[in-house]
Chain A
Amino acid sequence: MYAKIMVPVDLEHRERLGKALKTAADLAKANGAPICYVGITATTPGPVAHTPAEFARKLEAFAEEQAAAQGVVASAKAYTSHDPTVDLDKVLEKAIEELGCDLVVMASHIPGFPEHIFASKAGYLAQHAKISVFVVR
């Protein structure tokens, strides 16, 4: 049903990803589809990496780790953004296009009051993406 699955990951908060990663892996195995883990970093040093290059290496290591642990075919793609707080949604939209994925599986939090002012990342994607979006809460 699905040919390629995109999983946006926030390496800074890995502990919150468990359920989404598991869901994605199950779907990937059921469909025989590869997973592409997508990460977004600013160009300034951050908690995950000092440089965008280091970030990309860590993301690749993460993908390899997942491939081994979950038994899926996985790749990684890192993107940079001038202002991740704001541009994240747009970068993910671009990634869907570039990577040719047909399903997004992503973790999100339970919506609360702030979502009335600022849409959550997953919420935005579900609303704007042309492909299916699986929001894991």
Chain B
Amino acid sequence: MTDEATSSTGLPSPEGASDIIETDYTIGQDNIATKIGPFGLDIHNPVFVISGLTVIAFVFFTLAFQDSVGPIFSDLRSWLTSTFDWFFLLSANIFVILCFALIVTPLGSVRLGGKDATPDYSYPAWFAMLFAAGMGIGLMFYGVSEPISHYSSAFGGTSVGEDGARTDWAPLGAAAGDTATATAIGMAATIFHWGLHPWAIYAIVALSLALFSYNKGLPLTIRSIFYPIFGERIWGWTGHIIDTLAVFATLFGLATSLGYGAEQANAGLDFLFGWTVSDTSKVILIVAITAVALASVVAGMDAGVKRLSEINMVLAALLLLFVIIVGPTMEIVSGFFANLASYVEYLPALSNPFGREDANFSQGWTSFYWAWWISWSPFVGMFIARVSRGRTVREFVICVLLIPSLVCVLWMTAFGGTAISQIVNEGYQAVADAPLELKLFQMLSQLPLTSIASFIGIVLVIVFFVTSSDSGSLVIDTITAGGKVNAPMPQRVFWCSFEGMVAIALLLGGGLGSLQAMAVSTGFPFTIILLLACYAIVKGLMDEPR
């Protein structure tokens, strides 16, 4: 059925032709509209109940049987990332190639939301939300530490154990004692983990959801991607399982990173203001972050999530500019182009899935990262889909893949490059020796106006957590309401607070590591889901009017 272009009164614009899928399923038909106490609910049966209960059960078992459960989950994660390293690397390459293909082929001119749809958000607001949800917090912590790690291991050269396997963690063939090459490899490896590949993963999930929702009329929930493969069966248990898995990965991903985030923010506050590192301060931080996130979800997409993301973007840009201006400016500017060139130069070798000599690096870093990004992709992808209506596929892929990748190159060059330069040129070892959560602050302490910059840094860390938490709650709420975005307010309040409580339980009970391992392990089934999504995207786009 073709949805004819009608300029019906009242709408900002006609939607134009798109290819609606005909199905007898009505969105919300499996929902239960009920009341718990005085609060009205409109929840998907059984996704809401199953995901809520499984999460509670998992937290309970992890806390009760910590010593035995912890190792099982982390073994599962290492087994998956080392046995299926080729699978993760190969799949991620496929996602990047598909994205580039969408830019250059005529399929790129399909518009999300129908031929005449207009964008829901302006470019700055859209970018701000893409970034805040996508990787904001990671950039704060790994922007300084990861380039240093790869630089140091590459500079240290290779070493071989008794069994003939390499024992070092250096990327590729390393560069023993060669500062320039070690820097190039280190920066290329870091950019590789934060550039095209992760954003391609997000783009695939987001694009398939947006396509099947805005153009095909299916509900905005993960199961809709599977319509071309499973047909009407996605409304049954097949779909329930997919959605529950997505909620599960999102909630554990958010709760564990909130828990770790509180630890890191606490360490930062201790370093800057002498805030004692203790469980109490961490719980206070989680409660504070959750409270702000709650205020933001209650204020809604435009007044809450969008506004916070914009504030974040401005703060991040200020910090970046600050580091570029007061840091080694010329080195950063020339480094940007040099690092971009190194990235392009080493990309084929770094992304090669087979016959790798640097198993520690390709399995321990790359494969782990890919599983990690993929486990985040239902959440980030769905959020990106929610804000991307009205863009063409080409515009979408360029803006979700290429521009964020370039920003990551600049960010890594400014933060990592400055830190490497401090180590190499100034012999400043403290930044290399500092624990992960303090590296950013150690680097900033060598620059002028330390206290102001560090303060902005700590505010950014906290606001990035808030934006992850509020956008995550909206996503979980939509999935557990069967794709309805207008479910009653108490539901999103529930998910947002629940996430904070799970984080506190894991922090105090000590299950953060094992459940994070569990969340990352969901990256494996999701990789298969994403490969199917690639097929669904191409098939879905072919049927669209261009």
- A53-B14, A56-B10 in contact; A46/B302 too (CB < 8 A)? no
List CB contacts (< 8 Å) of B222-264 with chain A.
none
The CA-CA distance from A107 to B90 in the complex, in Å, is 56
Q: Closest CB-CB distance, B408 to chain A, in whole Å?
A: 27
* Contact assessment for A85 and B114 in the assembled complex, using a CB-CB cutoff below 8 Å: no
Q: Are B113 and A86 within 8 A (Cβ)?
A: no
Cα of A99 to Cα of B18 in the assembled complex, Å: 30
Closest residue on chain A to residue B386 by CB atoms = A44
Given contacts A44-B483, A51-B114, 12 further A-B pairs with CB under 8 A are A12-B28, A44-B485, A46-B486, A51-B214, A52-B11, A53-B5, A56-B6, A56-B8, A76-B10, A83-B300, A85-B300, A86-B304
User: Least Cβ distance of A50 to chain B in Å?
Assistant: 3
Contact A53 B488 (CB under 8 A): no
Known: A77-B10, A86-B489. A45 touches B3 (CB 8 A): no
Of B3, B484, B490, which one neighbours A54 at CB under 8 angstroms?
B3
Q: How far, in angstroms, from A47 to B28 measured CA to CA in the complex?
A: 6
Within 8 Å of chain A (Cβ to Cβ): is B57?
no
Q: Are B303 and A57 in touch, CB under 8 angstroms? A: no
Binds B, one of A1-9, A110-118, A125-133: A110-118
Nearest Cβ on chain B to A39's Cβ, whole angstroms: 8
Question: Which residues from chain B contact A45 at a C-beta distance below 8 Å?
Answer: 27, 213-214, 217-220, 483
Contact status B38-A114, CB under 8 Å:
yes
User: Are B9 and A56 closer than 8 Å at their CB atoms?
Assistant: yes
Prevailing SS type, chain B contact patch: loop
Whether B15 and A51, one on each chain, are in contact in the complex, defined by CB atoms closer than 8 angstroms, is yes
Nearest CB of chain A from residue B537's CB, rounded to whole Å: 18
CB neighbours of B219 from chain A (8 A):
44-45
Q: Is the CB of A85 within 8 A of B485?
A: yes
Answer whether residue B277 sits at the interface, using C-beta atoms and an 8 A cutoff.
no
- In the complex, B20 has a CB within 8 A of chain A: yes
B65 within 8 A of A: no
> With A53-B15, A114-B39 in contact, do A47 and B300 touch (Cβ < 8 Å)?
no
Known: A45-B218, A46-B28, A56-B8. A112 touches B3 (CB 8 A): no
Q: Using Cβ atoms and an 8 Å threshold, which residues of chain B touch A76?
A: 9-10
**Residue in chain B with minimal CB distance to A54:** B3
Contact partner, B485, options A50, A56, A83, Cβ 8 Å: A83
A86-101, CB < 8 A from B: 86-87
Residue among B484, B485, B490 having the largest count of chain A Cβ atoms under 10 Å? B485
Among A42, A44, A56, A76, the one with the most B-chain Cβ atoms within 10 Å of its Cβ is A44
29 contacts between A and B (CB under 8 A): A12-B28, A43-B113, A44-B219, A44-B220, A44-B386, A45-B219, A46-B28, A47-B26, A47-B29, A50-B217, A51-B3, A51-B20, A52-B11, A53-B3, A53-B14, A54-B3, A77-B9, A77-B10, A78-B10, A82-B120, A82-B300, A84-B485, A85-B487, A86-B300, A86-B303, A87-B300, A87-B302, A114-B40, A118-B298
B485 and A46 contacting across the interface, CB-CB below 8 Å: yes
Interface string of B16-29 (1 = CB under 8 A from A): 00101000001111
* Complex CA distance for A112 and B9, rounded to whole angstroms: 36
A57 adjacent to B300 (CB under 8 Å): no
- Chain B positions 1-56 with a Cβ under 8 Å from a chain A Cβ: 3, 5-6, 8-12, 14-15, 18, 20, 26-29, 37-40
Q: What is the distance, in angstroms, from A121's C-beta to the closest C-beta of chain B?
A: 11
Residues of B within 8 A of A57 (CB): 6, 8
Give 5 nearest A-B pairs by CB, closest first: A86-B300, A50-B217, A56-B8, A113-B38, A83-B301
* Contact partners of B489 in chain A: CB under 8 A: 85-86, 118
| Complex: A67 Cα to B11 Cα, angstroms | 21
In the bound complex, what is the Cα–Cα distance between A87 and B389 (angstroms)?
18
The answer to whether B10 touches A79 (Cβ under 8 A) is yes
Contact of B217 among A43, A51, A60 (CB under 8 A): A51
Query: Is residue A80 contacting chain B, with contact meaning CB distance below 8 A?
Result: yes
CB-based contact B484/A86 at 8 Å: no
Is there a chain A Cβ closer than 8 Å to B311's Cβ?
Answer: no
B333, CB-defined interface residue at 8 Å: no
Asked if B299 CB lies within 8 Å of chain A CBs, one says: yes
A50/B20 in contact, CB under 8 A: yes
Q: Could you tell me if B217 and A53 are in contact, using CB atoms closer than 8 angstroms?
A: no
Which residues of A lie under 8 Å from residue B29 when comparing CB positions?
Answer: 47
Q: Tell me, rounded to whole Å, the shortest Cβ–Cβ distance linking B18 to chain A.
A: 7
Query: What's the nearest-Cβ distance from chain A to residue B466, in Å?
Result: 17
Whether the pair B120, A43 counts as a contact (CB closer than 8 A) is: yes
Q: Which of B12, B301, B303, B490 makes the CB contact (< 8 A) with A114? A: B490
Partner of B38, one of A53, A86, A112: A112
Point out which of B5, B10, B217, B299 has the most chain A C-beta atoms below 10 A from its C-beta.
B10
Complex: how many Å from CA A120 to CA B14?
Answer: 31
Q: CB < 8 Å: which of B11, B485, B492 contacts A42? A: B485
What are the residues of chain B within 8 A of A12 when measuring CB–CB? 28
Q: Complex Cα distance A52/B12, Å? A: 10
